[in-house]
Structure 1
Amino acid sequence: MTGPLIFIDLETTGIRTTRDRITEIAALRVERGVVTSRWQRLIQPEVRIPASISELTGIHDDMVRDAPTFAEIAEELRAWLGDGALVAHNARFDYGFLRNAYKRAGTSFSADVVCTLRLSRRLAPQHREHNLAALLKRHGITSHTRHRAMADAEALLALWQHWEKEHPAARLDEEVQRQRRLPSLPAHLDPGMIQALPKAPGVYLMHGENDLPLYIGKSLNLRARVMSHFQADHRQDREMRLAQQVRHIDWQETAGDLGAQLLEARLVKERQPIMNRRLRRAGRLTGWSWPPGTSRPELQRAEALSGREAEAMMGLFRSAREANEALRQIAADQGLCLRLLGLEAGGGACFASQLGRCRGACRGDEPLALHAARARQALSRLQIHHWPWEGRLAIGEQGLKGMQAWHLVDHWCHLGSADSLTGLDALVDARGAFDVDTYRILRRFLDGDDADKLTLVTLPRRAGSAS
């Protein structure tokens, strides 16, 4: 390679590039194979160093108490680095910390980066372990004070020098240039896997070690969406964790956005990926019902509901807390009494009536029957929309490349999908449990601006079947 190489290593207070801080920086400037300069500083992180990190690195709060902050050394470091290419192991980690540290200091930072973890995977694909400790052991390189920045930077240089002896210079240069040409990807991912991703709608599944489900997402452009995770990893903690842990990516192409959203909602609940929060919760639902002859709503919970049972509920929520908050908001908007609704203990006038926020049914200013009627009407607005079709609904979706999909739905339950209308015949006995996320997806598409792009066909139900 032409130009200087900067072998660099950081010690930090943790692994979150946006929240944790740098405690030590060490770097070696190498020109034509010779170390021409060294740079090393302890950094005052301005936060406490966790005991587990101090035990690992040997850097504790007392050591950095009088050290400069990153902002105080930022320009000195930038000038020393110059136009050299940064060489680091799992370079996304070190580069992400540097970019965020400069951002907090009020400026930006960019540099060419060479990742020795990615390089090792290319040079020795037959080996499974490519962390720095494994590489040093494999090549017989001794390092007595690992997990201090200068020791790791020196170990990294020793590894590089070993590769220079083991491989022709042209091979090393070819692999470095290859890294620079390819999109910035996690070191553990095969770039060919990303190149194989279609620029089409669908769902992608990211897996970690032992095929652990990490994250499931959907997009109208699978390749662009997956790449966006890795382009943001220095700015977002979750994206950094994902980049560090991902080992494999699967995907399923769909005809369009509706199929992608339905598939994503189902797969997240089935596989429970550890980094998904939205769509993940399934199972018990909570909602309001209003039994005949009663003066207030009652909270009901169910492990699973059919579509018809869901329609009878006045709103569906994932927890009692969400249900109570919704009812409190309705009471505030409509001047209803929390005490009469069962949300406030005690007798007599409620607290809100003293503030003029309740119309006074609790103290006789409003007839109880009128209060109950107003409350029932307001709460009914949360009711699941009535299923307007006589039978099951087949929703046809046409893709840009001629790909077609049909989704079978009954009482807002998604029963399955097929490539053709006749393919739905295999789902004649299918039954489904009501899912709040699926209901919202269907309503959004059927009531939205693009509804006219869908084809709707009503299919008869099998005798005795119901959702």
Structure 2
Amino acid sequence: MYAIVDIETTGGHASAGCITEIAIYVHDGREIVEQYETLVNPGRPIPRYIQALTGITDEMVADAPYFDEVAHKVFELLQGQIFIAHNVNFDYSFLKHQLDGCGYTLQSKKLCTVRLSRKVFPGFPSYSLGNLCRQLGINIQQRHRAAGDALATVQVFERILTADTEGAIAQALHARSREKWLPLHLPQEQVADLPSCPGVYYFHNAKGKVVYVGKARDIKKRVTSHFTGNSAGRQRQEFLRNIHSISYEKTGTELMAFILESIEIRRLWPEYNNAQKRIEFKFGIYTFEDQQGYLRLAIEKRRKYTYPVFTFNLLTEGHQLLRDLVKAFKLCHKLCFLQTDHDACVGLAEKTCKGACEKKEKPHRYNKRVQAAILHLQASQPSFAIFDGGRTATEQSCILMEKGKFYGMGYLPRDVAVSDSTALKDMLTQYPENEFIRNLLRQYTGSKTARLVNL
């Protein structure tokens, strides 16, 4: 048995909207055997544009039952039936959300007449309910009202039942089929063709623009995980509605997928990626020249469009690093802001400061040691290459870190052994680096298959 449903609502998201009208036609595969329709008082004003679209006004629903008054009847009609609607996930998410709030747990198999029509009636310019009905010669009575649209969906489904010679309905109802969870506009074939390997995937909107970039150890498994569940939240529902196609790029390893994802997020700035659109490190060591001509080293909070000598997340880490530089290069505690009181510089007593804070040492002499400290800090950063599996059995992947900065990555023939960074650069693709990638590679400790080569 099938329950063919249409609802009208106060908005586009189940978690923030309410039902204003519902129609259910129970169908046995040959004819309608039971029907139910009612206006529903949403308990809030209906937006004017919704009133204009549906014709349902606040006055019309003022004496209508609230949803909790009809929830038992709705649940009774839906539970155990195959739930059918035009864009089924919209109607299902609303009804499941509202029924959950009344203590009823809806668990139904689903069929979407949009997806089924694309398979059974291929080649139509549009599969919206109005356009589809025009193509099939179905006359819709009371467009944008629940009963009118539900009855039109019944007629569409009856045409599908008659024309389904390839078993599209049976395939959609198969227990292992994930098609019912897919975004409305995303072709099932694109998901079926995804590879099960590490890489980066891209969700595109109707205009082809990338709206989300993700990384995965297994592209196919990760992509399909985005579409499980039936969250009623506004952001998730918008996200799913905006996915029209998927593209991907294979990488040799999950680590490379992490790196490429970070690069692509900053290159494309996708609408639904938020995590890496901020500065990762909270603090930095900065250098500037004061009015007396002395170079100063200072720890400050990170800000956009600033260029620190070194970055870190913990103040304790930065202070220890700066103390080490002060001691090694005989710098001044006060000029490095490690001492901020008005007492004599502790470096004078410890014989690490040569009196720059008291103008006893000329700026040019002191500045040479500051510059040497900066060069030492930069030069002490690691240079290494990570060799690991490639995209095929005949290649290996390589990631190059040079003096603490990510240079690039790429793929080499498996039998090539390179230990010189200059030679490696000719074989790799250089990418813009960022602090997320640097931190990722600093923390990298290798794996059972990876080979770390210091350069």
TM-score where L is the length of structure 1 = 0.72
How far did residue 231 of structure 1 move? 0.8
Counterpart amino acid of 1:458? N
CA distances 1:368-415 after superposition (whole Å, capped 9, x unpaired): 569999xxxxxxxxx9x9667677421223379857311122244332
1:61 to 43, 58, 61: 58
2:453 equivalent in structure 1: 457
Question: What CA deviation, in whole Å up to 9, does each residue of 1:267-303 have, x standing for no partner?
Answer: 11112222111224589x9956364677976667564
1:69 alignment partner AA = Y
CA gap 1:193/1:24 in 2 versus in 1, 3 angstroms: same
Counterparts of 1:314 and 1:419 in 2: how far apart (Å)? 30
The one-letter code of the counterpart of 1:121 is R
Q: After superposition, give the CA deviation of every residue in 1:144-169 in whole Å (9 maximum; x if it has no partner).
A: 4211111110111222344456x2xx
Secondary structure of 1:59's match? coil
Question: CA, structure 1 residues 244+298, in 2 after alignment: closer, same or farther (shift >3 Å)?
Answer: closer
8 Å CA contact 2:5–2:25 kept in 1: the answer is yes
Offset, 1:434 = 4.6
1:394 maps to what in 2?
385
Counterpart position of 1:254? 251
Which among 171, 178, 182 is matched to residue 183 of structure 1?
178
Q: Indicate which of 7, 10, 13 corresponds to 1:16.
A: 13
SS in 2 for 1:276: coil
- What amino acid does structure 1 have at the position aligned with 2:168? E
8 Å CA contact 1:398–1:405 kept in 2: the answer is yes
Change (3 A) 1:397 1:26: same
Q: What is the DSSP-based 3-state SS (H/G/I as helix, E as strand, rest coil) of the residue aligned with 1:11?
A: strand
Unaligned stretches of 5+ in structure 2?
289-293, 319-339, 348-373
Which structure has the larger Rg?
2
* 1:106 and 2:100 correspond: no
Instruction: Say if 2:22 and 2:39, in contact at 8 Å, map to a contact too.
Output: yes
- The residue that corresponds to 1:142 in the other structure is 139
Answer yes or no: is the 8 Å Cα contact 1:83–1:111 preserved in 2: yes
Q: Any stretches of 5+ residues in structure 1 without a counterpart?
A: 317-325, 331-365, 374-382, 460-467
TM superposition shift of 1:230: 1.0
Say if 1:99 and 1:234, in contact at 8 Å, map to a contact too: no
Indicate conservation of the 8 Å contact 1:8/1:27, yes or no: yes
Equivalence map 1:37-48=2 (5 Å) = 37-48=34-45
* Residues 295 and 218 of structure 1, relative CA distance in 2, 3 Å threshold: closer
For the structure 1 residues 300 and 222, does the alpha-carbon distance in structure 2 shift closer, same or farther, using more than 3 Å as the test? closer
**TM-score computed with the length of structure 2 as normaliser:** 0.73
Q: Identity across aligned pairs (percent)?
A: 26
Question: What do residues 206-228 of structure 1 show as CA deviations (whole Å, max 9, x unaligned)?
Answer: 11212121211112222121111
The answer to whether the 8 A contact 1:233-1:243 is kept is no
Distance 1:426 1:296, change over 3 A: closer
Q: Cα distance, 1:61 vs. partner?
A: 3.5
Q: Which amino acid aligns with 2:411?
A: D
Residue in 2 aligned with 1:333?
A: none
Q: Distance in 1 between matches of 2:345 and 2:265?
A: 42
In the other structure, the counterpart of 1:427 is 425
Q: CA deviation at 1:315?
A: 4.6
Provide the residue aligned with 1:367 in structure 2: 341
Q: Distance in 1 between matches of 2:172 and 2:40?
A: 31
> What value does the CA root-mean-square deviation take over the aligned residues?
3.8
Secondary structure of the corresponding residue to residue 135 of structure 1: helix
Question: Is 1:27 aligned to residue 31 of structure 2?
Answer: no
CA distance 1:371–1:313, shift in 2 (3 Å): farther
| Segment of structure 1 superposing worse, 404-413 or 5-14 | 404-413
Query: Does the CA contact (< 8 Å) of 2:85 and 2:112 recur in 1?
Result: yes
Instruction: Tell me which amino acid in the other structure corresponds to 1:367.
Output: D
Q: Report the CA distance shift for 1:11/1:387 in structure 2 as closer, same or farther (over 3 A).
A: farther
Specify the SS of the correspondent of 1:210: coil
Confirm or deny: 8 A CA contact 1:198 1:222 kept in the other structure: yes
Amino acid at match of 1:413: K
* Distance change >3 Å, CA 157–CA 369, structure 1 → 2: farther
Asked whether 1:274 is paired with 2:268, we answer: no
Kindly provide the amino acid, as one letter, of the partner of residue 113 in structure 2.
T
2:91 corresponds to: 94
* 8 Å Cα contact 2:263-2:432 kept in structure 1: no
